Amino acid sequence: MNPLDQIPLLGILVIAILLQLSLIEAGFRYGQHQRGGGHKAQMAQVRAIMGASLGLLAFMLAFSFSMAQQHYEERSRAYMMEVSAIDSAFRGADLLDDDARDLAQGTLEQFTKLRVATVEAVRASDRERVVEMIRESERMHDLLWALAESSMERASDGNDTGMFAQAVLAMISAHDARLQAALFNRISPVIWGTLFLMALLAMLVMGYQAGLTGTRSTLATWTLAVAFAAVIALITDLDRPNMSLFQLNQQLMVELENRMERQTSGGAGSVRP
């Protein structure tokens, strides 16, 4: 788990702004102190270094944002794969024997409810509950796979139970992909450290340059600090599992859960072999 996950998004925004303003102020005061000496002649060099520092910082921000966006898209694809696999497994369960069919569809319905509840627990940052739900999901996978194996061994009357088994395997694969994308495909702490270091150094040089000239704009200083901090906060939110601003729409899973309930309760949409 990334240490940044423990800090609220608003806290990251405020901390980033304050750190940048602090470094700008420190650089400005040091520049003012050096202004009376021969350092004023270095103005062109300092200005060039400031431009290069801000350019490198912008590049790192773009690079980090691209990584976070890719991780978000991977989570979206894994979610779509899981919804499709659950739907296929539920339909394929109709090919099983009566007892196995009812158990499989009941388990799939419970699994879908569990997946919706897991997302809510992630948003609430309830780590212990999320871990327990993941373990429960894996136990349901084992049960469904046992049903698939048993049904294939005693397949009769030409029923093709392989469709159900393939769907269960796809469910397991999608589940692993979601865990990989949410928990392990994260921006490296080394990249985070480099990004923050470059931001602080760039603000320090900018403040130093302003100190050498003896003038600065409060509006421009705050605008730059807030802009960079906002981008850092967006990158943080995209990269963390419990996103605040960017959240996967769970409506597909909810609709699938509702349709399962209608079919297992013998509603109009129920189909039985």
> What are the residue ranges spanned by the domains of the chain?
8-264
CA distance to 15, 30, 125, 221, 223, per residue, from 218 (Å): 19, 17, 38, 5, 8
Residue 273 scores a pLDDT above 60: no
Q: 263 pLDDT exceeds 50?
A: yes
Q: Is 73 or 273 the better-scoring residue by pLDDT?
A: 73
Q: Is the pLDDT of residue 83 over 80?
A: yes
CA–CA distances in Å: residue 60 to residues 63, 135, 203, 205: 5, 37, 15, 17
CA distance 119 to 49: 46
User: What does the pLDDT average to over 85-114?
Assistant: 88
**Predicted pLDDT of residue 227:** 92
Tens of pLDDT, residue by residue over 39-55, are: 556 777 888 888 898 89
The three-class DSSP label of residue 218 is helix
Q: Average pLDDT over the chain, rounded to whole?
A: 84
Neighbours of 104 (CB within 10 A): 24
| Helix, strand, coil percent values for the chain (each to nearest 5) | 80, 0, 20
Q: Which two tokens stand for residue 243?
A: 């996103």
pLDDT at 216 > cutoff 50? yes
The string of pLDDT tens digits covering residues 140-188 is 999 999 988 887 777 655 455 678 889 999 999 998 888 888 778 888 8
Nearest to 255 by CA among 119, 113, 121: 113
Question: In the structure, what pLDDT confidence band is assigned to residue 17 with cuts at 50, 70 and 90?
Answer: very high
Q: 181-188 — which CB contacts under 8 Å span 24+ positions? A: 181/71, 181/74, 181/75, 181/78, 182/75, 182/122, 182/241, 183/1, 183/241, 185/71, 185/74, 186/2, 186/71, 186/239, 187/2, 187/64, 187/67, 187/68, 187/71, 187/235, 187/239
Q: Is 157 left (phi over 0), alpha (psi -120 to 50) or beta?
A: left
Cβ distance 211 to 29 under 8 Å?
yes
Query: Which three-class secondary structure state does DSSP give residue 265?
Result: coil
Question: What residues contact residue 41 under an 8 Å CB cut-off, 6+ apart?
Answer: none
pTM for the full predicted model: 0.76
Helix, strand, or coil here: 120? helix
